[in-house]
Structure 1
Amino acid sequence: MKTIKLFLTMLVCVGIIFSGIVPGMYIYANPDTVLLAAPTNLTAEIKTPTQVLLNWNFINSELANIYIERKSGGGTFEVIAVISGGTNVYTDSGLAPNTTYIYQVKAVYDSDAGESAYSNTVSATTPPEAVDPPSRPTNLTAAAVSSAQINLSWTKTGREDGYEIERKKIGGNYEIIGNLNGNTTTYTDSGLAPGATYYYRIRSHNSGGYSPFSNEATATTPSIVVNAPAKPSNLTAVVPANDRINLTWNDNANDESGFKIERKVGNGNYVEIMILGANTTSYSDLGLSPNASYSYRVSAYNGGGNSGYSNEVSVKTEIAPSAPTNLSASVISNSRIELSWTDRSNNETGFKIERKTGSGSYEEIATVGANKTGYTDTGLSSNVTYTYRIRAYNSAGNSGYSNEVSGKTGNVPSTPTNLSASVTSNSRIELSWTDRSNNETGFKIERKTGSGSYEEIATVGANKTGYTDTGLSSNVTYTYRIRAYNSAGNSGYSNVSSANIPIDSDQIQIRLYIGNTVYYVEDELKEMDAAPIIREGRTLLPIKYVAEAIGAKVAWSNTEKKVTVTQNKKVIELWIDRNTARVDGKRMLIDPDNKDVKPIIIPPGRTMVPLRFIVENLGCKVDWNGNIQEVKVTYPQN
């Protein structure tokens, strides 16, 4: 009995001695029980979008295994791996990007003697899908534009979120001098020392990392300091049409190399859109969107750098009305002159009429309402020359001025009457009228087609009462008016008379108008998605609208930037910005008289090709009416 008590006492003492158990050590209360300390300090580290590295503390033991458990979202823990107790790291692979995972571990005795409590829990959220770093920028160039400024430019490669610009001097180390967004391909380094050599390199970056550096570019600033020019002033903007804005400014310098035009759309950022030569004081911004707000500023530049900016101006397209055209004046008597014009807008409040006498200054004499196209100026003095101009207006401002016209009061002839027009062949119309005066020098004959504007097509001598108009086209309505004239001026206009030559059933006629998306196929009104324009004196337009009307097909190759037009066995191929084409495989100049004529692309991505070259090669006839800016295509040509 004393021996048993002594043994128990020794066990109690041993228990007291080892009451502060070292984690991972085993204490045997009886031969079938083992107590395991829990793993501690569990951590989780994101390695990739699909991998998490786990790490924990545990005394190595050959008697235990580590059970690793995981759950995601609101799920329950599940065992994902069992590893030896001698290991304290584990890589969890094959995970989903952008997902949160929660982990815990425990130790389990090899012979089912028991298991530890769980470690602490940790969570890790994998990042989104991996993004490849961008490619290196290329073609970096550096150009010294003044003694204090070097301009950089490069070629973008895609996938970049931004650029990092670095610079060094000879013998120095590269330092970051700028960070730019990914849409930029230029950088201005200013405030430099005269006569110094600078080296540059750039690299792009995105969420996947940095690209390699570009090529190295170098430039040396001139040692002679040149002052920047004086800034321009009095910048003004006028909206003469729905797709253009005309700018003018004062040139206050005599040493500029040119001017830089900058524009912003709405509340956007300014972007340089054009560089013009020295002594320039105007610019027309074309191809604009209707009903959009544009702001402009101008600066001068030379070897010393850029001047300050001019004042800013802001205008909105399709707000100010378009300028009226074709203003004409008819002297009706010694005290009266009649004006007429073409209304080219649909948003005017009215028209302002200005007049000057002799070489005097213009004064506004009257206003007339919207859609008016005529005005009679009365109470004039005899034998006096009066000159007129008009402009449309609305709440946004004035249009540009019309053309100027003059008339001199005096003994003008009487107005002819009874004008009539008769079709006498498939290309001829006969006119006849009554001569009501005895002092005319002759008669002026004017004609318009469709809803276009009148233009003078002929004059005949005194006492004439007839005229034959030849070379006309079928299925076109021709409208005529005449007036007598002498040295005192023009009579009033006669009545108008119209005639239409019947169409040849074997022909197709297409009428298009410069700057207007509306066009006609056999007098059926249609609309295209981009208006015809004139470049280098030639008409360019989206050719598919004409091609489809005459049974031709149009194909576009984005890889080659090529337009192919086919009809029957005829094949015409043209390339963007190339002045040569192929017709049935034979290469030729698009316009031998003007080598600058070529297909182009205009905003917002419309392909415009030379009309005459294509349709004439398809056997069409092309007629041009400059007065109404009309192109008429007849197919076939016969």
Structure 2
Amino acid sequence: MKKYTNIVILVAIVSIGFIFTSPDNFLKRFMFGQIITAAPFPPYGLKATVVNYNQINVSWVDDSVNAMSSRKTKEFRLYRRTAYTGNWELIKTTINATHADLNLSPGGYDYKVNACNDIGCSSDSGIISASFSKDTMAPTRPGNFSLPQKEVTDSKANLYWSASIDDIGIRQYNIYRSAGSGNNPSLIASVSLSQVIYTDTSLSPVTNYYYYVEAVDLAKNKSLATATLNIVTLPLGNTGSYIRVVSPNGGECFTLPGNLHVAWTGTGVNQATAYYGGKKIFSGKDTIFDWYMTASVSPTTIGSIKIIVVDDNGKEGTSDTSDAPFAVSRDCKKESISIASTPEVPTNLKAGLVPNGNDILLTWQDNSKNETEFRIYRRVLNGKWALIAKVGPDVTSYTDPNVPPGNYEYDAHACNNSGCSAYSNQFKITAIATLPVDPVKVYTVAELRDGDLVSVGSSSDPDVYIINSHGYKRLFLNEAIFGFYGHLGGFQNIKKIDSTAKNSYRTSGLFKNCEAGDGKVYGVEISGEDTAILHWVNTSGEQAIADDPDFFKKVFCINNNEFNWYQKGLPYTSVNQIPMYSR
């Protein structure tokens, strides 16, 4: 009877082994001696998922949980290498069947894992790959930047702005400051993405300070800077008696006759007296006053307001000595000057040679609605800047005529009666009217880097591409699409290559709208010489890699403008439907 009972128990064990283990390992686990003394079986079901711009999550299944053994897995050892070519590196020893691989650089990666216990380690699992491209989309500029003078003391000032937007998320905001003239700003602080206010507590009394803010995303792309704003700090130990004239101020003009609107800032003011020239025009406790200027007031370009105040302690103070003069005229355009603001800085300044001449055409983007003029500056490279022209409001171009041969830089800013914006980006250009033509450098593959613009120089109508670190290139189908990417620097940043270098990069027609945060990948179907149709590749990431291991290495980011330019076709349900693309 005892012998028969043992047979029944053995059958039960065999049944349990069959139910809870994978079929390919069943016979091994049935061998009673091996179960007791062997290392774990290899993990299976390895997966790698790209989470964001620098993180891949890896997971797997522990096959030893089904083994008929008291020697279960003690730890897993996860290995990683640069896709296909790198050396394997142990990156994590863990008791969990998942790992978040953080702080990765753009590119492709391979993973494998094994399981270990006190007896030893299993053989390696299968290999899984994942990749992602470099994020190049800058955040939006911080909005509603303000720097209230009324909150300024002798040592601190408060800065406010509204949050920027980015496809992968904001890392921080950088605050820049300069003193005196506003030149040579330096980074004074970086604050977290959730912070949209900053208090600067390291200021000196009676000093002009200039500030601007920029956003930085998780991939360290920087936004355009806000407009530059300035304040002046109060005197030390006498904050109640200091007054700054906000309006009128430098460059403003008032038409006679009419109301002169005077506004000033200060705290603890008990009594204030305002003077226009040497004439008293106001006395009281307010910090705002309208004075009717009759036609008998003499026109001038050096009008000035002086404020004398007495604080609650009887101390007297006067207005800021840096308050600039203003104009009074019988024919200047009437402005609303309650508290004016300087214009936003113009951006995307570009310069190009005008064909068949010695002129240089400048263009820029107008970002404000309150400018009265744009001022354009030029200098010989590394020389002194000179104002060369002023153009009216809403004008976005200027032709610099008869420029002598040489290397030049251009700059511009927007101005109104309250002052001028910060300067735009500087743009370098060579006027080549009679200069000898230098030989064009042709770059080799070894000299090219991820994100370079390239073109074969010998073609009369060259195609322009951008390349990635995986050996792929994408075509800008026409000049209009290329124009959507002004941050790349335009045609002057294109590197010339030969046909051999061009052919060493395979052409990709896979795009993703990174600006909109759209996770879908689209395939390009060429429909004409310079036209195309986008098709959503409606398949899983695992299936896409199974069909084409390089699938995600071929994906290039595009922006909203380019995405909206294409016609949209029916979705592809398989990678194999994507047309071969070799242009």
TM-score, normalised to structure 2, is 0.26
Please identify the structure whose Cα radius of gyration is greater: 1
Bigger strand share: 1
Bigger helix share: 2
